[in-house]
Amino acid sequence: DLAALDLTLFEQLVSHAFQQRRKTLRNNLKKFCGTAHFEAADIDPSLRPEQLSPNDFVHLSNTVASLGNSPVS
């Protein structure tokens, strides 16, 4: 199991991901993630949030924390 580097960021990211469940991660997480974040985390931004595992969310959150929160496509 992974541990979130920034628990506040992790909580916000997961909360935003599920705000509009039928939208893709790309649309729900525009505020947090750009293409580079999804690529670095090896996560398909066209997926819906319910398709990710808890560890996927931790990994994405840690990637955003490491790369910085600049959602430039």
pLDDT tens track for 28-71: 999 889 999 999 999 999 999 999 999 999 999 999 999 887 55
3-state secondary structure of 71: coil
Nearest in space to 27 (alpha carbons), one of 15, 45, 41, 14: 45
pLDDT band at 26 (very low <50, low <70, confident <90, very high): very high
Q: Which two tokens stand for residue 53?
A: 């595992």
pLDDT at position 72 over 70: no
Write the burial class of residue 69 (CB in 10 Å: 0-12 exposed, 13-18 middle, 19+ buried). Answer: middle
- The pTM for the full model equals 0.88
What is residue 73's predicted lDDT score, i.e. its pLDDT?
Answer: 43
What gap in Å lies between CA 24 and CA 68, rounded to an integer? 21
- Residue 22 has, within 13 A of its CA and on its CB side, a CA count of 0
pLDDT at position 25 over 80: yes
